[in-house]
């Protein structure tokens, strides 16, 4: 007696080779039927003997490919229709997209083996993929995920590939992005003068020769261009920095293998896990201080390392043999370049050679960055392999969250699913602003949605705060509430009162001042009570105060010690006139914006301990300070809590003691350690007053591994502590928090 049953699988079930795996399993059990990608997930019909169907159904959860996330499997009986075989079908129904869009997957070991064996027909073919690996998000034109809806539709499979595609025993069975040297996309190299010089393996050889000569290659990678040079050559790294305009930010490294990564960095098992994960991110790990030029990560103890994301990267780094600088292919401040013509034009003054491929990229995406903190990977930049990230937000509203001003990433819900999108960049240039608008349009068609509400930061001057179309409702969300809400979302604390600790650079507060060290009691309805913050101080010179941390140091020392404090010996690079001017501004401090920024407190500490008078980028002094910390040093400074409401953490004794240590010749490493321990102790002391609440850490300051791990250590056994993980603690995670707050407020507004 033949029967039939239909299964509906939901979760991350597309783009991972689930259909071929199920087809194989069903065939093994002698079953006929069909499996289809649908807008909701995956539908499977199994037809055959009831016992065989039962055995097959039971085995399904255990037989799904790596990276699949099955959230639900519903089952119903259907009429048997005498099917004779098991087929992979398709579904093109119209409706809102319910299933997650697959992320890009780093090259698998099988594909790497293929390209290095000379008897394999894909020997040295740099763009090979299979059902288990390859780009997805960056080349999907529309869902469901089928070859003819990706950019590979332009590359019809040759006969050999078709045989593999149709063979259930082959690992390219229904692999949508597969191809070979005969039918697939190709690479070619172009020299400075615009001549196509080589194709295939010769193009890689030419690129390697250019790099060996100390020059710069623009490589079209998975999600866009990357700039490569020899990481061991100071002159090459400096040339890249100057041409790109990236003078001080650290540069990431591409290495061929894990053993090569170990030569450059001390890797913990967690860091090895992060490096070899299918997401294939850049992992920030402790540098050994050897093997690369000091210009790669000047003054910083961590170095960003990445393994090859595609066979092209693997072949290139194998031929080169050593670590390569591998950084985003853009002019500093602009978004990532991803199209051939644009890249040649806009990177003309940066690159000496282009290594292109003709597999179109629909959606540019930067490399992801993670840092292992407290034993687990924390997302620093959500990009290739990690974005889009599913968010556990249940809402029927169609909302777009626009993020902030720096490190902008959007989040959205189409009423069926909610996701956090990839890093887009800082909103400083027209090109990066255009990229945000492009993405708004793209996600509306990709997710089949017209947004009927928007949410943005409370700051009216942010570019993203002005993006909601006229007449559409836009919910502004306070910056630090958004950070805390992102943490509540990540840790499933949306139904609890929490103490949120949001420490970062600055964000506009509800009182019009610049907040940045907030202890917020937040309810499930996102009612906020400001419990505590650092003692406020004037920010002299606005943006200048960020670029020149000595200004903040002077401000804080004048208040902590005396208006006459003499800092000229600390900052020999700053002329006396400017010091005198800032000093007079501090005396009229009521004319300047007040801030409670923890980021600026770090800047001041770095300025006093290390004489840092200029900052290359936001957070730079704090990174330098964390890097020099002497982890063996004992002691700490004082950071008393006031009995006011809100409570203030009074930094005056801390600044006075830092100053005295500096004058007494205490080493910067010891001062840094004491400073970090003081802040950790202050945060934990404040947390202890609310020990019954879950405590959620968020904000860019908690990218600092030393501070966060000190807090974890000091809070052990006393506080219920939740620190950042998948959602970036910096402003890249802001949109996730905005989205969950806006969804709740829209829901409440609809009820009343
Ligand atoms: Zn593969
Ligand atoms: Zn082929």
DSSP 65-79: PTT-EEEEEEEEEE-
Distance 179 CA to ligand 2 centre (A): 5
743, 399 contact by CB (below 8 A):
yes
Ligand with smallest separation from the Cα of 108? 1
pLDDT in tens, 15-58: 888 888 899 899 999 999 999 887 778 889 999 999 999 999 99
**Region class of 627: left (phi > 0), else alpha (psi between -120 and 50), else beta:** alpha
Mean pLDDT of the chain: 94
Report the pLDDT averaged over residues 389-403.
93
pLDDT surpassing 80 at residue 751: no
Q: What is the DSSP string of 82-106?
A: ---SEEEEE----S---SPPPPPBP
Which one of the ligands is nearest to 130 CA?
1
CA dihedral over 699, 703, 706, 711, signed as positive or negative: positive
Cα-based angle 165, 170, 172 (whole degrees, multiple of 5): 45
Residue 242 exposed, middle or buried by CB count within 10 Å (0-12, 13-18, 19+):
exposed
pLDDT on residue 154:
94
From 620, 606, 622, 504, select the one nearest 551 (Cα to Cα): 606
Q: What is the DSSP letter of 680?
A: H
What are the residues whose beta carbons fall under 8 Å from the beta carbon of 169, sequence distance 6 or more? 24
Q: How far is CA 164 from CA 235, 252, 720, in A?
A: 47, 37, 53
Using left for φ > 0, alpha for ψ between -120 and 50, and beta otherwise, residue 9 falls in beta
For 167, 571, 611, the CA distances from 574, given in Å and listed in that order, are 71, 6, 11
Cα separation, 634 vs 636, in Å, equals 7
Ligand nearest the Cα of residue 135 is 1
Alpha carbons 40 and 10: distance in angstroms, whole number: 7
Centroid of ligand 2 to alpha carbon of 157 (angstroms) = 5
Ligand nearest to the CA of 178: 2
What is the tens place of the pLDDT at every residue in 684-736? 999 999 999 999 999 999 999 999 999 999 999 999 999 999 999 999 999 99
In what side-by-side order are the strands of the sheet with 3-12? 69-78, 3-12, 42-48, 32-37, 86-90
Rounded to whole angstroms, how far apart are CA atoms 606 and 85?
69
State both tokens at 662.
């500096």
Distance between Cα 92 and ligand 2 center (Å): 26
Q: Taking residues 248-277, what's their average pLDDT?
A: 97
H-state helical runs in 348-457:
430-446
pLDDT at position 94: 62
Return the CATH architecture of domain 532-722.
2-Layer Sandwich (3.30)
pLDDT of residue 92: 61
H or E element that contains 336: none
pLDDT at 731: 97
pLDDT exceeds cutoff 70 at 93: no
Evaluate whether the domain defined by 187-370 bears CATH number 1.10.10.10.
Answer: no
pLDDT at position 156: 97
- Interval 580-627: pLDDT, tens: 999 999 888 788 899 999 999 999 999 999 999 999 999 999 999 999
C-alpha distances out from residue 108 to 113, 187, 276, 308, 713, Å = 9, 20, 10, 10, 37
Share of the chain above pLDDT 90, in %: 83
Q: Which ligand is nearest to the CA of 181?
A: 2
Residues 6+ apart with CB under 8 A from 263: 288, 290, 291
- Cβ-proximal residues to 499 (8 Å cutoff; 6+ apart), any chain: 519, 520, 521, 522, 531, 687, 690, 693, 694, 695, 696
pLDDT band at 95 (very low <50, low <70, confident <90, very high): low
**pLDDT tens-digit readout, 503-520:** 999 999 999 999 999 999
Centroid of chain to Cα 67: 18
Compute, in angstroms, the gap from residue 165 CA to the centroid of ligand 2.
10
Sign of CA dihedral 306, 733, 300, 215: positive
CA of residue 315 to ligand 1 center, whole Å:
15
- Reported as a pLDDT band with limits 50, 70 and 90, residue 739 is very high
pLDDT of res. 244: 95
Cα of 311 vs centre of ligand 1, distance in Å, is 9
Cβ within 8 Å of residue 354, ≥6 positions away: 189, 190, 217, 218, 219, 220, 343, 344, 347
**CA 518 to ligand 1 centroid distance, Å:** 46
Rounded to the nearest angstrom, the distance between the alpha carbon of 364 and the centre of ligand 2 is 26
- Confidence class for position 334, pLDDT limits 50, 70, 90: very high
Instruction: Determine the angle formed by the axes of helices 576-587 and 550-560, rounding to 10 degrees.
Output: 50
State both tokens at 323.
């670590």
Interstrand relation of 398-401 and 411-414 (parallel, antiparallel or unpaired): antiparallel
Residue 493 pLDDT? 97
How do residues 410-420 score in pLDDT, each as one tens digit?
999 999 899 99
Residue 595's pLDDT is 96
Q: Which CATH class is domain 3-90?
A: alpha beta
Ligand closest to CA 122: 2
Q: What is the largest CA-CA distance in the chain?
A: 96
Please choose, from the candidates 141, 140, 41, the residue with its C-alpha nearest in 3D space to the C-alpha of residue 91.
41
> What separation in Å is there between the alpha carbon of 691 and the centre of ligand 1?
49
pLDDT tens, residue by residue, 197-233: 889 999 999 999 999 999 999 999 999 999 999 999 9
Interval between CA 178 and ligand 2 midpoint (Å): 8
Chain segment 351-382, per-residue pLDDT in tens: 999 999 999 999 999 999 999 999 999 999 99
By the 8 A CB rule, do 604 and 553 touch? yes
Which ligand is closest to the CA of 131, given by its number? 1
pLDDT of 743 strictly over 90? yes
Q: Work out the average pLDDT over 419-438.
A: 94
Please compute the mean of the pLDDT values over residues 319-348 and round it to a whole number: 95
- In the reported structure, the alpha carbon of residue 22 is separated from the centroid of ligand 2 by a whole-number distance in angstroms of 24
SS (H, E, C) 629-668: CCCCCCCCCCCCECCCCCEEECCHHHHHHHHHHHHCCCCH
Ligand showing the shortest atom-to-Cα distance for residue 107: 1
pLDDT band of 67, cuts 50, 70, 90: confident
What are the boundaries of each domain within the chain?
3-90, 109-166, 187-370, 532-722
Determine the average pLDDT of the residues in 622-647.
97
**Cα–Cα separations (whole angstroms), residue 75 to 9, 296, 564:** 9, 55, 77
């Amino acid at each position: 007696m033949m029967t039939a049953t239909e299964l509906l699988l939901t979760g991350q079930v597309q783009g991972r080779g689930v259909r071929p795996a199920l087809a194989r399993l069903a065939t093994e059990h002698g079953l006929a039927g069909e499996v289809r990608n649908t807008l909701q997930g995956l539908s499977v019909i199994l037809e055959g003997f009831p016992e065989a169907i039962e055995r097959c159904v039971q085995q399904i959860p255990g037989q799904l490919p790596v990276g699949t996330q099955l959230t639900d499997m519903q089952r119903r009986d259907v009429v048997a229709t005498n099917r004779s075989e098991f087929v992979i079908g398709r579904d093109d129904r119209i409706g809102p997209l319910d299933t997650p869009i697959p992320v890009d997957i780093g090259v698998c070991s099988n594909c790497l083996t293929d390209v290095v064996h000379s008897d394999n027909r894909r020997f040295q073919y740099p763009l090979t993929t299979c059902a288990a690996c390859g780009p997805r998000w960056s080349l999907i034109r529309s869902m469901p995920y089928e070859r003819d809806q990706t950019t590979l539709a332009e590359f019809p499979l040759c006969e050999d590939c078709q045989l593999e595609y149709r063979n259930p025993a082959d690992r390219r069975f229904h692999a949508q992005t597969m191809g070979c040297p005969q039918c697939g996309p190709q690479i070619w190299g172009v020299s400075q003068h615009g001549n196509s010089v080589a194709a295939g393996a010769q193009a890689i050889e030419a690129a390697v020769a250019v790099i060996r000569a100390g020059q710069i290659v623009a490589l079209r990678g998975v999600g866009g261009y990357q700039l490569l040079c020899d990481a061991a050559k100071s002159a090459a790294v400096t040339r890249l920095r100057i041409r790109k305009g990236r003078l001080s930010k650290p540069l990431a490294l591409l290495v061929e293998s894990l053993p090569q990564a170990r030569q450059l960095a001390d890797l913990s098992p967690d860091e090895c896990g992060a490096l070899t994960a299918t997401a294939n991110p850049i992992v920030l790990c402790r540098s050994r201080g050897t093997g690369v030029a000091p210009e790669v990560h000047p003054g910083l103890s961590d170095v960003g390392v990445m393994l090859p994301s595609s066979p092209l990267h693997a072949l290139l780094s194998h031929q080169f043999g050593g670590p390569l600088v591998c950084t985003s292919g853009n002019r500093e401040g602009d978004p990532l370049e991803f199209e051939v013509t644009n890249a040649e034009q806009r990177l003309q003054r940066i690159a000496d050679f282009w290594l292109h491929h003709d597999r179109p990229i629909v959606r540019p995406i930067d490399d992801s960055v993670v840092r292992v903190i407290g034993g687990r990977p924390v997302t620093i930049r959500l990009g290739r392999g990690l974005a889009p990230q599913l968010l556990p937000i249940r809402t029927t509203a169609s909302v777009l969250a626009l993020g902030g001003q720096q490190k902008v990433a959007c989040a959205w819900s189409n009423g069926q699913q909610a996701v956090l999108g990839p890093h887009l960049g800082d909103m400083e240039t027209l090109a990066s602003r255009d990229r945000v608008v492009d993405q708004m349009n793209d996600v509306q068609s990709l997710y089949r949605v017209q947004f009927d509400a928007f949410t943005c930061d409370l700051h009216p001057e942010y570019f993203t705060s002005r993006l909601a179309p006229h007449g559409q409702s836009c919910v502004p969300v306070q910056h630090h509430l958004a950070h805390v809400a992102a943490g509540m979302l990540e840790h499933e604390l949306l139904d609890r009162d929490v103490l949120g600790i949001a420490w970062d650079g600055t964000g506009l507060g509800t009182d019009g001042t610049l907040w940045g060290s907030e202890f917020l009691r937040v309810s499930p309805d996102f009612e906020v009570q400001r419990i505590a913050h650092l003692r406020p101080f004037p920010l002299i010179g606005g943006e200048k105060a960020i670029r020149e941390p000595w200004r903040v140091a002077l401000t804080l020392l004048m208040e902590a010690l005396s208006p006459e404090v003499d800092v000229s010996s600390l900052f020999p690079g700053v002329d006396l006139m400017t010091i005198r001017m800032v000093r007079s501004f501090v005396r009229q401090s009521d004319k300047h914006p007040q801030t409670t920024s923890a980021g600026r407190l770090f800047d001041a500490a770095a300025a006093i301990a290390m004489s840092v008078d200029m900052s290359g980028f936001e957070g730079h002094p704090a990174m330098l300070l964390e890097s020099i910390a002497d982890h063996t040093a004992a002691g700490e400074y004082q950071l008393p809590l006031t009995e006011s409401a809100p409570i203030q953490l009074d930094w005056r004794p801390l600044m006075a003691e830092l100053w005295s240590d500096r004058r007494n010749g205490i080493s910067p490493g010891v001062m840094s350690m004491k400073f970090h321990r003081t802040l950790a102790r202050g945060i934990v002391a404040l947390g202890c007053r609310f020990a019954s609440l879950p405590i959620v850490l968020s904000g860019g300051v908690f990218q600092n591994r030393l501070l966060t791990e000190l807090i974890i250590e000091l809070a052990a056994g006393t506080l219920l502590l939740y620190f950042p993980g998948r959602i970036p603690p910096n402003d890249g995670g802001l949109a996730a928090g905005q989205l969950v707050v806006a969804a709740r407020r829209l829901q409440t507004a609809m009820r009343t």
